[in-house]
Structure 1
Amino acid sequence: MVPNMQLVKEVCEEEGLPFELMGGHPNLAEVIFAGKSYFFSYAATPFNTEDVQRISADKFLTYSLVASKIRMPKTEQYLRPDLDPELHGEIKYQSEEEIVDHIKRNFPFPLIVKMNGGSQGKNVFKCSDERGVEIAVKKIFADDWALLAQELILREKEFRVTIVNNVVELVYTKGGFEFFQKNSKAFEEMENFLSPLKNLINLGWAGLDVIEDKEGKLCLIEINTKPSFESAVKHGQKEILKPLYKKAFHYVLQSSSLQVHHEPSFQLVR
């Protein structure tokens, strides 16, 4: 059982919620809450809507939505040249060579080339020259239909941020070595930096990768609706993490109560 699932199990035991593994699988569980059935699998939770999950899974959709309000690295998306334009829209570049040429003319070296929909660092390349870009483009297009070229931000620190119901609840350094109290300067700076986010996307449950550059400025790298707490658990932070799940559960309860007691303010047109 992965750490996230173990946390859910322990929270359910503490809150008296039915928790049942499905089909004997250690990382698929049903939880009955507020009269409804919810499923947890590995790091996935039922705390986000499908649209939010889709946007977060696509790095360029996230960039398109967020980058005008919150600092992110300059990013361009490139579609595989053989895609059908009727399905994917305009295919601007007709060959991998054109893509490589555009990247080298629009981004200084070194730069990042990565998969549009990748996770856990898969197919992320730091390219120091044109040959590196060529290799990255070829490898990514063998697995995915789109890639991203991204400005490389030289980092001083790297943070993990946990958001529950649009509220910053946890800020810690990558690897789980240092956790910041809510009244600390680092925590408050992160809250201020991410404050526009709640007006852009409704995050019920998310982990954010944020870096601090060499000049002390924060930069959002990506949003993940399935954050892993493996490193935090390894560093003995279970008791900090459990209340986050409890807050998410209680938000579901409140939402269910509102749905029961309030009639919709619109009528369907027949």
Structure 2
Amino acid sequence: MNINLQSLIQASNELGAVYKTHHSTQNVVELVLNDESYVFINWTTPLNPQSISHLCLDNVFFYHFFQDSINMPKTAGYLYPFCDQKYLQYLKEKSYQEIVNSIENQFQYPLIVKNNRGSLGHFVFQVNDRQTLFSAIESIFNRNSKTFDYVALAQDYIDIKTEYRAVYLNGALIFAYEKNIENAIYDGNLSPLHWQGAKAILVHDKALLNQIARFCSSLFQKMMIPFCGLDVAIDKQGVWWLIEANSAPGFQHIINDGCQNEVIDLYKKMILFLEGKGAGF
């Protein structure tokens, strides 16, 4: 069973909520609350409408929707130049060379290049010159790769001091944890918690939690995302940035580093919210 759903089951048991598992993996959990069914599948929950989940999944769409509401790295998207004919109306750069030229006209080195709908830090490149930029674009648009994406992103590089995952339910910050790489070893994946020896450390400092909450509040003023994990970072000049939003956050790292009770409590709040008993947290 998915590690998220294990915590959901524990929360259901502690609250006496009725549930049923489906499929041999037990990775489909149905909660029955007030005679209504709510289905959780792997990391996904029934809280977010499909349009919001899609918005969080598509980094280009997310950036253009929220860029005036919260501080994010400048982002530009580039369509696969050899796309199907039905997408030609969206195509501007018709070769890798034109994509590289466009990126160099808009960004300075170093910069970040990644696929639009990636996860777990796969296909995220820090590029420092034209040659590595070209190679990164080729890697993302490799049709023989299982992780082929038809849109590549270019982003401003942020010199991050510390990165956090902030978990929100109905616009309320439930908990946050630091993606600590103090004693970790970089092994090719830029995502902090994929470094060898990285740790997820729960944030207890109320002043820091208040800083995170204040920074993220403008996003929810623009539009409510019922459930999400926000990757936020403070750079070495003390400026806060939203790096990414995840509408189906996983909790493996924070659970493995000893904080399953916080995740169980999150699911308790979620169950009560679905029952209509937990509007405020």
Same fold (TM over 0.5): yes
Deviation at 1:179, TM superposition (A): 2.1
146, 162, 175: which one aligns with 2:167: 162
| Aligned residue in 2 for 1:258 | none
Q: CA–CA distance in 2 between the matches of 1:135 and 1:201?
A: 37
| Aligned residue in 2 for 1:147 | 152
202, 210, 226: which one aligns with 2:232: 210
Deviation at 1:33, TM superposition (A): 1.8
- After TM superposition, the structure 1 = structure 2 runs for residues 174-193 of structure 1, keeping only pairs within 5 Å, are 174=179, 177-181=200-204, 184-193=206-215
- After TM superposition, the structure 1 = structure 2 runs for residues 63-78 of structure 1, keeping only pairs within 5 Å, are 63-78=63-78
| Change in CA separation of 1:168 and 1:89 when aligned onto 2, cut-off 3 Å | farther
| Structure 1 residue ranges without an equivalent (≥5) | 256-270
Deviation at 1:178, TM superposition (A): 2.8
Per-residue CA distance 1:157-208 (angstroms, 9 max, x = gap):
0101000011111121015543223x71101111111111112222111111
Name the count of aligned residue pairs. Answer: 254
Structure 2 counterpart SS, 1:160: strand
- After TM superposition, the structure 1 = structure 2 runs for residues 12-27 of structure 1, keeping only pairs within 5 Å, are 12-27=12-27
Question: 168-177 or 11-20, which moves further after superposition?
Answer: 168-177
Q: CA–CA distance in 2 between the matches of 1:203 and 1:243?
A: 19
| Aligned residue in 2 for 1:233 | 255
Q: CA–CA distance in 1 between the matches of 2:28 and 2:209?
A: 33
RMSD over aligned Cα atoms: 1.8
Structure 2 counterpart SS, 1:159: strand
Structure 2 counterpart SS, 1:131: helix
Letter of the structure 1 residue corresponding to residue 253 of structure 2: S
What TM-score, normalized by structure 1, do the two folds share?
0.88
| Aligned residue in 2 for 1:171 | 176
| Aligned residue in 2 for 1:268 | none
Cα contact 1:52–1:202 (8 A) shared by 2:
no
Structure 2 counterpart SS, 1:178: strand
Structure 1 counterpart SS, 2:90: coil
Q: CA–CA distance in 2 between the matches of 1:95 and 1:126?
A: 21
Per-residue CA distance 1:65-105 (angstroms, 9 max, x = gap):
11112110111111112335754643211111100111122
Question: Percent identity of the aligned residues?
Answer: 30
| Aligned residue in 1 for 2:216 | 194
| Structure 2 residue ranges without an equivalent (≥5) | 143-147, 180-192, 194-198
Letter of the structure 2 residue corresponding to residue 67 of structure 1: Q
Q: CA–CA distance in 2 between the matches of 1:89 and 1:14?
A: 54
Cα contact 2:202–2:259 (8 A) shared by 1:
no
| Aligned residue in 2 for 1:267 | none
| Change in CA separation of 1:110 and 1:47 when aligned onto 2, cut-off 3 Å | same
Letter of the structure 2 residue corresponding to residue 209 of structure 1: D
Cα contact 2:4–2:252 (8 A) shared by 1:
yes
| Aligned residue in 2 for 1:246 | 268
| Aligned residue in 1 for 2:241 | 219
Cα contact 2:201–2:254 (8 A) shared by 1:
no
